Amino acid sequence: MKQLRKNLGVFLCMSLIIGLLPACGKGTSSKSQFQDSDKLAIVTSIYPMYDFASKIAGDKAQIINLVPAGTEPHDFELSTGDMQLLEQGDMFIYNGADMEPFADKTIQAISNKNLIVVEAAADIDTLEEDGHTDPHTWLSIENAIAECGVIRDALVKADADNAEYYTNNYDSYVKKLKKLDETYKEGLKDIKKDTIVVAHEAFGYLCAEYGLKQEAVEGLTADSEPDSSRMKELIDFCKEKDIHVIFFEELVSPKVAETIAREVGAETMVLNPIEGLTAEQEEEGKDYISLMEENLTALQTALK
């Protein structure tokens, strides 16, 4: 899997830079990127963590996500400014499960000893594929609920005065997630097929939750390309299984999916791993639940 942070030299340089930065933990005088010193200053790694934290923390926290809208998280590289942001924060929430391989080195490098580090997927039973961990844990709604629970507990511990507020927000959000789960179960109960063809092998948790199978163009790497033998294998598979939809992702080139679709007379559609938002989705106010609803509609089309 292509890692988010590939260059060890970057970490060494960051460590040297950070050694020169003043500690900026909670209660110090500098939180330049966090405007309200009375609220928890939270940094999240990727969009699902940002969305979950936002739903639970509400207006009691300022939350800044590291990966900007429109950026494929696997291609994102940590900057000096991102490191400074972590120096200024009260809490860092990341998914774990190998989604952010940079996290351990980064946490060790920063001088902000007051930073509360939260690994949301620490207790999730992860899926393994060819010796690699599938990091897309949040695509299981059950996992998403568990991760929200970890975030709630961290907020309550960090800010006990607002424990009831965080707990109520969590309870309200979980009701919506459970309703989403019921919508999925109802929406997929009459499907005629059980296999989807996807560009990126990111949907293992979603498939496991609803009795589906995924056939991926490539493995857990979002933007690699198959060789000619793999392409032929996929084309033959799609013809044999009468696959009429080939899924791709918005933040990754659809070229391979379009090639396969042309060969088998299928159409291409988006199935979103919800690693991040596009700028348009951000402007429209899309979130985890609305994107999962869109995914359900896409699945129903592909599996009818």
What digits encode the pLDDT tens for the residues 80-125? 999 999 999 999 999 999 999 888 888 889 999 999 999 999 999 9
Residue 171 main-chain phi, psi, to 5 deg: -60, -45
CA-wise closest residue to 249 among 72, 1, 2: 72
Residues 60-70 have a mean pLDDT of 93
The one-character DSSP state at 64 is E
Cα 270-74-87 angle, rounded to 5 deg: 130
pLDDT of residue 27: 35
Instruction: Tell me the mean pLDDT in the region 253-276.
Output: 95
pLDDT (average), residues 274-290: 95
Report pLDDT digits (tens) over 15-32: 434 443 433 333 333 445
Least confident of 1-10, 104-113, 279-288: 1-10
Which pLDDT score, from 0 to 100, does residue 221 have? 61
Please give the backbone phi and psi of residue 126, each rounded to the nearest 5 degrees, phi first.
-85, 160
Res. 11 pLDDT band, cuts 50 70 90: very low
CATH of 8-183, one of 3.40.50.10680, 3.20.20.150, 3.40.50.1980, 3.50.50.60: 3.40.50.1980
pLDDT at 273 over 70: yes
State yes or no: pLDDT of 223 exceeds 80.
no
* Residue 65 exposed, middle or buried by CB count within 10 Å (0-12, 13-18, 19+): buried
Instruction: Report the SS3 class of residue 5.
Output: coil
CB-based contacts of 76: which residues, under 8 Å, 6+ apart? 4, 66, 67
CA 146 to chain centre: 14
Q: Look at residue 153 in the predicted model and tell me its pLDDT.
A: 98
Give residue 251's pLDDT.
Answer: 80
User: What would the two tokens of residue 17 be?
Assistant: 């830079």
pLDDT at 30: 42
> What is the reported pLDDT for 32?
57
- Sequence spans of domains, the chain: 8-183, 189-303
Whether 8-183 shares its CATH topology with 189-303 is answered yes
Q: Is CATH 3.40.50.1980 the right assignment for the domain spanning 189-303?
A: yes
User: 142: which 2 tokens?
Assistant: 């059950």
Query: Mean pLDDT across the stretch 115-143?
Result: 95
Tokens of 91: 């809490």
pLDDT for res 76: 79
Q: Average pLDDT, stretch 128-134?
A: 89
Contact 127, 99 (CB under 8 A): no
